């Protein structure tokens, strides 16, 4: 690693992609051309289409290693906007198009950092799905690449853009909760989310398996690994990054905290014992230097005991239904407890994808900039490492 924090590999890749940077200057009325890389279950094609007309955006390219995903995304685009996007298999071909202004990357987790770095070096603005990274090495390299550019990057932790989240942040900042000392989420369901994905029928002839594997070792075609990749730790670590990234990002957003100082975790495969390797049960405790404890739990095998609550000296803020106004409960015995009937004042908010598309023109920082992605990734990776190593993990923000 050089003194600037950019590796030789990053520098070489930057040099090779420098010629791809778009030179055209956009006017206020020019239509932006956006590509979607990864057209699967997250539905980001639909999210982009929802705001395309009002933000003067053309969905010009859909890219996916699975033929059916490409074709479905192209059909959705044509039906919604009347235009037919170009269909591509390889993301490198998208980044080589000089007239593409931005990429929405919604691919499997193991591809995020590589694609983000390549897109930035190609001069594209990027919406990148969560979790941002699967290990600290790729995380630091990707973040440094973004920070050394002038590109707009929005990380896909969209919960922070809900009106309820924005209102809660303002309420906490105004002292509405007193001092927060504990935050908990229990997010359970009967089956792991990767089961439904794995049930999708997929044929080897419709897939570029090598492109999907990317930097992983070559292996024979495996339909379950391709369709149900969420369940395999080569491609996604598990709920501690898939689900917990949303929760931890919300903790950071509402409280203003950035990184946990210490994390412990435990878990394993207790209910759904099959060929998949991601844990179906996971629990983590995160200690924050601001003076509060965070607990996260996922159990696949029951759909009961779901909740998300912030505990403050004045009372409890219930965010279990986080897309609706959060409920308040005063703390008995506290002289300044939240009064019965108190509601969190409503505030205006902008949907996450719309915010990104607007920032392509304004060049303002979006709702979830790269720093927010780095922070949620550090917390999730600390939890994963604590589980894997069986020991408490400590984070040094100066040494990263």
Residues in Cβ contact with 165 at an 8 Å cutoff, skipping those fewer than 6 apart: 159, 250, 253, 254, 322, 349
- For residues 46 and 185, state if they share a domain: no
Residues 254 and 132 in one domain: no
Residues 107 and 220 in one domain: no
Which of 95, 119, 151 terminates a domain? The answer is: 151
Asked whether residue 369 is assigned to any structural domain, the reply reads no
Indicate whether 323 and 285 sit together in one domain: yes
CATH number of the domain enclosing 79: 3.40.50.720
Q: Note whether residue 367 is domain-resident.
A: no
CATH number of the domain within which 283 lies: 3.30.360.10
Single residue among 151, 169, 193 that ends a domain in this structure:
151
Is the same domain home to 166 and 240? yes
CA distance 258 to 183: 15
E strand or H helix that includes residue 102: strand 102-105
Kindly state whether residue 357 falls inside one of the protein's structural domains. Answer: no
Cβ proximity of 236 and 242 under 8 Å? yes
Model-level pTM?
0.92
The strand pairing partners of 285, in sequence order, are 264, 295
Q: Tell me the Ramachandran region of residue 120: left when phi exceeds 0, alpha when psi lies from -120 to 50, beta otherwise.
A: alpha
Q: What is the pLDDT of residue 42?
A: 75
Supply the range of the domain harboring residue 167.
160-349+381-394
All residue ranges of the chain with pLDDT < 70 are 1-29
* Nearest by Cα to 366 from 356, 357, 376: 356
The verdict on residue 368 lying in a domain is no
Domain membership flag for residue 179: yes
Length of the chain: 400
Q: Which helix (H) or strand (E) holds 312?
A: strand 307-312
Percentages of the chain per state (helix, strand, coil), in multiples of 5: 40, 20, 45
250 and 332 together in one domain? yes
Same domain, 24 and 169: no
Instruction: Tally the domains of the chain.
Output: 2
Query: β-strands 262-268, 393-394: how paired?
Result: antiparallel
Based on the number of CB atoms within 10 Å of its own CB, is 61 exposed (0-12), middle (13-18) or buried (19 or more)?
buried
Domain boundary among 151, 184, 210: 151
User: For residue 16, what pLDDT is reported?
Assistant: 45
Q: For position 352, what pLDDT does the model report?
A: 98
């Amino acid at each position: 690693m050089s003194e600037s924090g950019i590796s030789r590999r990053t520098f070489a890749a930057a040099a090779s992609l420098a010629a791809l940077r778009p030179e055209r200057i956009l006017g206020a009325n020019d239509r932006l051309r956006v590509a979607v890389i990864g057209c699967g279950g997250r539905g980001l094609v639909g999210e982009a289409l929802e705001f395309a007309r009002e933000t003067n955006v053309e969905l010009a390219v859909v890219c996916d290693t699975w033929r059916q995903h490409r074709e479905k995304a192209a059909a959705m685009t044509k039906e919604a906007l009347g235009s037919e996007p170009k269909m591509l298999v390889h993301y490198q071909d998208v980044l080589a198009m000089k007239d593409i202004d931005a990429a929405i990357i919604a691919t499997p987790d193991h591809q995020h950092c590589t694609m983000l770095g390549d897109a930035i070096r190609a001069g594209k603005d990027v919406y990148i799905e969560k979790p941002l990274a699967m290990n600290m090495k790729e995380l630091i390299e990707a973040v440094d690449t973004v920070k050394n550019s002038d590109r707009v990057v929005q990380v896909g932790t969209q919960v922070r853009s809900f009106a309820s989240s924005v209102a809660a942040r303002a309420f906490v900042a105004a002292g509405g909760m007193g001092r927060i000392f504990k935050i908990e989420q229990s997010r359970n369901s009967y089956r792991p989310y990767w089961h439904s994905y794995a049930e999708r029928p997929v044929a080897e002839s419709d897939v570029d398996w090598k492109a999907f594997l990317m930097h992983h070792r070559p292996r024979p075609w495996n339909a379950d690994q391709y369709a149900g990749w969420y369940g395999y730790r080569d491609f996604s670590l598990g709920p501690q990054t898939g689900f917990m990234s949303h929760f931890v990002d919300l903790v950071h957003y509402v409280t203003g905290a950035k990184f946990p100082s210490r994390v412990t975790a435990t878990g394993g495969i207790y209910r759904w014992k099959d060929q998949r390797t991601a844990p179906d049960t996971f629990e983590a405790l995160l200690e924050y230097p601001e003076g509060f404890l965070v607990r996260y739990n996922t159990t696949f095998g029951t759909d009961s005991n779901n909740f998300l609550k912030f505990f403050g000296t004045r009372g409890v803020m219930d965010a279990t239904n986080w897309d609706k106004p959060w409920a308040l409960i005063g703390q008995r015995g506290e002289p300044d407890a939240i009064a019965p009937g108190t509601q969190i004042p409503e505030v205006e908010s902008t949907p996450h994808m719309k915010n990104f598309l607007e920032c392509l023109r304004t060049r303002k920082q979006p709702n979830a900039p790269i720093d927010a992605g780095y922070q949620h990734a550090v917390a999730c990776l600390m939890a994963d490492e604590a589980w894997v190593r069986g020991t408490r993990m400590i984070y040094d923000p100066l040494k990263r």
